[in-house]
Structure 1
Amino acid sequence: MAKDNKHMSPIGPARMPLMDHLQELRRRLTIIVVSVVVTALVIYFATPTLIEFMIDPIRESLQGNGLAILGVLDGFTIRFKVAMFWGVIICTPIIIWEVMAFFLPALNEHERKWVVPTVAAMVALFFLGMVFCYIVIQQAAFGWLIDQSLEFATIVPNADDYLNIMMLLEVGFGFAFQLPLIIFYLSILHIVPYSVFRSQWRYIYVGLMVVCAIVTPDASPITMILMYVVLLALYEVSLGIARYVITQRDGKAALKWSREEYAEHEAESDSK
């Protein structure tokens, strides 16, 4: 009976046999999958309204035309994909929590206190990235892409293609906005010393540009440039916050600490 209660608890114990870890992983994946599927089934009936909402930023680029369906099965397929997309988006807090809760037992007491703020920040940043994409990116990206074809072709706004690109952009920016959190934790946990981020900024800036070129699904320079500018701003803001936390907690000397030096400092603090 105790074993069953262990698996039903929100957080598993720090040490479990391999099979128990696999059962815990299966339980959390089941929660995620069931949550997304049930939500998607409910949302399916509202997909026409949601699609209208999704294409609202690009209506001007459509030049008064609606989206076109090119196959008899396309309507069902598109509605199903949109329902699954919104199911995942609505269930994002559940997904993030279940993933974090699975790894939580591996964290020490000092690191666990960051879990709830981390989950809240991840969810907030993900939705912030989607909102930014919806308000700023969609119109600019589709406007540029459509302009490339107007002089030599008649554009048929294929609903499947348009919505696929829009959903990929939304998810891409949602994940891109997680960058501040990644940089923040790499810095304050001294996995990568803060001083390294500052001294190697040229390489990091180029690396961010390469990432933007890879992850933008529409291959539009407008989208890539906008994402690059945003990621640079988020990168600098996250480093500024990390610097404040590190100096307030451990002093300016800690900005150059390695992971080993940080671990020694934590051990000394615990022994006092």
Structure 2
Amino acid sequence: MSTQQETFISHLIELRDRLIRALLVVVVVFVCLMPWAGDIYDILAKPMMDTLPAGTQMIATGVVTPFFVPVKVTMMVAFVLSLPWVLYQVWAFIAPGLYSHEKRLALPLVAGSSLLFMIGMAFCYFFVFGMVFKFIAEFAPKSITPAPDIEQYLSFVMSMFLAFGITFEVPVAVILLTKAGIVDVAKLRAARPYVIVGAFVIAAIVTPPDVISQLMLAVPMCLLYELGIVLANWMTKTAPSAAEPAYAAPSIEDMDSELDRIEAGEGGDKR
């Protein structure tokens, strides 16, 4: 077996071990939370329940839906709580192949990514859901008594969480593009009008067809893009200049001139 094959197999084994460690923590957190699965779903459903008419509850149309939906919610919460550990396993797998300055950047990005994703979900839960559900309740005709299905509600909530969680990763994406040399800060600033239009297009696609949820997604995306530009500009200014290496190898001309000086000195001594 060649050295390249052995290296490839060792990488696969390490990847398997990292995935097992990440999955194991998610499973342990999930098992610990399972006794409170019903309470966790009630917390998730609170923004919707606050906007429903008095005495109205959500419904479950499937036979096993009342069991599986709280289990899915608990699994989602377990994954979110384990996200820092999962991202750390990703970082630990790629860290050996990084330079020292890349390692210093990777760990803050991993921590920042998990934090921003959670902030995006919290922003969606505490601000967006209340406004969107209230708008829908006020817009609905008085002859209709809303009774949302819990499975459809879970699907809507998870898609919104995913949309806002990814949206709040915009600063990380901007920094990575800048550090990789794909774009610079000047190009990011020049692309600002296109980013604003793209933000509203994305918001119109991934959110419900109401103006409030679209604005609540597009506006933070634009603001986070500006934050990413500010951070990328700051990191570019504080980074050591590539034009000033710590050690410069001598050129051939320098070596020749040094040899000439040595030979000239030896000749002077002999005379």
TM bin, normalised by shorter chain, reads 0.7 to 0.9
Contact preservation (8 Å) 2:91, 2:107: no
Identity of aligned pairs, percent? 27
1:234 is matched with 224
Q: 2:20 aligned with 1:30, yes or no?
A: yes
Q: Give the counterpart letter for 2:222 in structure 1.
A: L
User: Aligned to 2:164, which of 173, 182, 198?
Assistant: 173
CA RMSD, 1 decimal = 2.2
CA–CA distance in 1 between the matches of 2:73 and 2:65?
12
- 1:269 equivalent in structure 2: 245
Partner residue, 1:126 = 117
**Normalising by structure 2, what TM-score?**
0.81
Amino acid at match of 1:176: T
What aligned pairs does 1:66-81 form with structure 2 within 5 A after superposition?
66-81=57-72
> In 1, distance between residues paired with 2:27 and 2:210?
33
Q: Could you tell me whether the CA contact under 8 Å between 1:184 and 1:242 is conserved in 2?
A: yes
**Residues 1:215 and 2:206 aligned together:** yes
The list of structure 1 runs, each at least 4 consecutive aligned residues, that deviate by more than 6 angstroms after superposition, is: none
Deviations 1:25-47 (A, max 9, x none): 11111122222222222212201
Give the corresponding residue for 1:137. 128
- Offset at residue 81 of structure 1 (A): 0.7
Secondary structure at 2:59 match in 1 = coil
- 1:61 corresponds to: 51
Letter in 2 for 1:228: A
Query: 1:154-193, aligned counterparts within 5 Å?
Result: 154-193=145-184
* Structure 2 residue aligned with 1:99: 90
Q: CA deviation at 1:69?
A: 1.7
The structure whose Rg is larger is 2
Secondary structure of 2:245's match? Answer: helix
1:17 aligns with 2:20: no
CA distance in 2, matches of 1:250, 1:270: 10
Aligned residues: 243
How far the C-alpha of 1:226 sits from its partner, in A, is: 0.8
Q: CA deviation at 1:219?
A: 4.1
Tell me if 1:39 matches 2:18. no
Stretches of structure 1 lacking an aligned partner (at least 5 in a row):
1-14, 252-264
109-118 vs 185-194, which moves further = 185-194
Q: CA deviation at 1:84?
A: 1.0
Contact persistence 2:47–2:133 (CA under 8 A): no
Q: Does 1:225 align with 2:215?
A: yes
Farther off after superposition, 131-140 or 97-106:
97-106
Give the secondary-structure state (helix, strand or coil) at the position aligned to 2:239: helix
Tell me by how many angstroms 1:113 deviates. Answer: 0.8
